[in-house]
Amino acid sequence: MPLDQPMQRLRDGERPVRFVLAGAFNTIFGLALFPAMLWLSPYLHQHYMVGLILSQAVCTICAFFIYKLGVFRTQANIVREFWVFSSFYYATYALNLVALPALVVGAEIPPIPAQLGFSFATMVGSYFWHSLVTFRTTDRHDDHGSLPSA
């Protein structure tokens, strides 16, 4: 059966499968939060940049805990990991603060589709950053992303 192998990988705790599932949740949550905030708040609809900043802060905190606890399951210093995790998003947020108005005003793309496109590019880069930098460990790992047993 086609679903047997992915389900077995999930049960075995394979990190790439957990990353994809967490990413799917974070993507849906993140892509839904920005438009929901704009649609539910007349103030944020008028001031979409405030909505962008608020939604990105909420999404960053949510994503960090999902990746730390559910995907990488690290025991490292939470402050260091959050700083490194956030640094990726600080850079992309700074770029987003420039790109979104350029797309909305300059290219005349509505805020929501413009943000969706920018978010997609961020998702691709985040896999590499978190795998190689944020949640790296100095311990050896087996092929499933878990510590070898003694």
pLDDT of res. 9: 58
pLDDT of res. 33: 96
Other C-beta atoms lying within 10 Å of the C-beta of residue 39:
12
Weakly modelled stretches of the chain, pLDDT under 50: 140-150
User: What DSSP element (H or E) covers 105?
Assistant: none
DSSP assignment string, 84-105: HHHHHHHHHHHHHHHHHHIIII
d(CA 22, CA 28): 10
User: Do residues 102 and 65 touch, judged by C-beta distance below 8 A?
Assistant: no
Ranges of each domain in the chain: 4-134
User: By C-alpha distance, which of 103, 130, 127 is closest to 114?
Assistant: 103
d(CA 107, CA 39): 22
pLDDT of res. 119: 84
pLDDT of res. 42: 94
pLDDT of res. 17: 84
User: Do residues 115 and 52 touch, judged by C-beta distance below 8 A?
Assistant: yes
* Total-model pTM: 0.65
